[in-house]
Amino acid sequence: MRWIAVAVCLPVLLGMAAHTEAQSAPAKPSGVMITTGAPTKPGAAAAKSPVVAPPKAKPLLPDSFAGWEATGTPQALTDGSQIDSANAAALKEYGVSDGEIAMYKRGTDTLTVHALRFHDVSGSYGAYTFYRQNGWPKEDIGAGATSNKNRVLFWQGTTLVDSTFSHMAPMSASEMRELAAQLPMPQGTTALAPPILANLPQNSLDKQTTHYALGAAGYVGAGGVLPPSLVDFDRGAETVTATYSLRSGPATLTIINYPTPQMAAAQEAKIRSYISAGKQAQPAFPKPLKDSDQASLDVRRSGPLVALVSGDAIPDESRKLLATVHYEADLTAIPQPTDSEVSKTGKLLLGIFTLCLIGCAAALLLGFFLGGGRALYRIARGKPASSMYDVEFIRLHLEE
């Protein structure tokens, strides 16, 4: 009997031990398949899973275009100081992400192309206006372009291209247009231009003089009129500066956009007080303000915008230009108030009750007209109004 008890209990104890070991063993993540290649032999170390390299990013510049052939692998640019050490702070404000330098050759001519990529169109456009100098002629390349001797500067999408030819030819602009067509185009909100540009008056505007800035370095480097501390970029301000050719002389219009009208009102008061101080202003007037007609200096606010006019135009024309700056709020973007769930349920029940009431009224009217009409017809024939007492039967006339 003792051997029989051992034989019966032993399988049970072994099963319990196996179940306990299975519960104590670490569980593998569900839904993950580990590929190890060939099955491993007992005692051999488990083979490591192959590491899959991330897909290689598409080069910013092409290997060839318009007959130009790249002479080597483009040099990758990953840091603002590596791209342009003198203007690294301004590039950081514009949101530069990376870039490339490529050397091209065609026959005996060479072409050097610097391509900088930004996070959005505001950055590429701002950097374009930062590097473009006033007076450079306009070119029809990409979204905007200019040239200076053998140098062509243009922007397309989120990319800024600065190219230098060893020898300019009549077809150089056409070749740059072919390059611009091969640059990647942004999608969604990154493709939107800075909204502040829509507030620039278009009459008498010299479009080759606009400068867009998102920070102090870009503002000063592009010839800003006010001290950057007075603009206060730490509040999230952005600026656009442009020159207007008025009849009495050139005028410079500076528009500063703040996040709220309250911030704009506070900064307008500071700027107005600074301009009124004149020679006693602290800090001292920058060169653009010193060279301006002091009687023409004026400031005005419209919503979150603060506009300043300076230059050599007469005061009347300067103030007329300033008056054309007007902010229009887009009310369609403001969410409209919606009904609560309780209100929606009440309206639904009221609609159901109204529908039932209309159905009952329609049934009563139909019954009245149809039933009443039949009763009137019977009465007109000398019969009772109701036919429930009428005995209708079939008569067979069998008389001889």
- Summarised one tens digit per residue, pLDDT across range 47-68 is 444 555 444 556 799 999 999 9
In this structure, are residues 228 and 152 in contact, taking their beta carbons and an 8 Å threshold? no
Per residue in 87-123, pLDDT (tens digit) is 999 999 999 999 999 999 999 999 999 999 999 999 9
* Residue pair 209/222 in contact by the 8 Å Cβ criterion: no
Each residue's pLDDT tens digit, 174-226 = 999 999 999 999 988 889 989 999 999 999 999 999 999 999 999 999 999 99
Can you give the pLDDT at residue 70? 96
In angstroms, the CA 388 to CA 29 distance is 82
In this structure, what token pair is assigned to residue 229? Answer: 């501390």
- Of residues 150, 151, 99, the one with CA closest to residue 123: 99
Give, in words, the CATH class of 64-188: alpha beta
pLDDT in tens, 248-262: 999 999 999 999 999
Q: How far is CA 212 from CA 125, 202, 204, 290, 330, in A?
A: 8, 16, 19, 22, 22
Question: pLDDT digits over 294-338, tens only?
Answer: 999 999 999 999 999 999 999 999 999 999 999 987 544 444 455
> Quick one: pLDDT at residue 187?
87
Per-residue model confidence as pLDDT tens digits over 326-375: 998 754 444 445 566 777 888 889 999 999 999 999 888 887 777 777 77
pLDDT interval class at 171 (50, 70, 90): very high
Angstrom distance (rounded) from CA 251 to CA 278: 19
* pLDDT score, position 385: 66
For 130-156, the pLDDT digits (tens) are: 999 998 999 999 999 999 999 999 999
Q: Summarize the confidence of residues 381-385 as an average pLDDT.
A: 71
173 contacts 152 by C-beta, under 8 angstroms: yes
- Give me the amino acid identity at 99: G
- Strands (E) located in 22-91: 64-65, 68-70, 75-77
User: What's the confidence (pLDDT) of residue 18?
Assistant: 45
Which residue has better confidence, 191 or 30? 191
pLDDT bracket for residue 38 (50, 70, 90): very low
Give the pLDDT of residue 400: 59
> pLDDT at position 393, please?
54
Total Cβ atoms within 10 A of residue 1: 5
195-329: what fold?
Answer: Protein Transport Mog1p; Chain A (3.40.1000)
What are the angstrom distances between the C-alpha of 332 and each of 189, 192, 326, 336?
18, 18, 18, 9
Banded model confidence at residue 378, pLDDT cuts 50, 70, 90: confident
Distances (CA, A) of 68 to 63, 110, 183, 186, 337: 8, 9, 16, 25, 59
Give the domain ranges of the chain.
64-188, 195-329
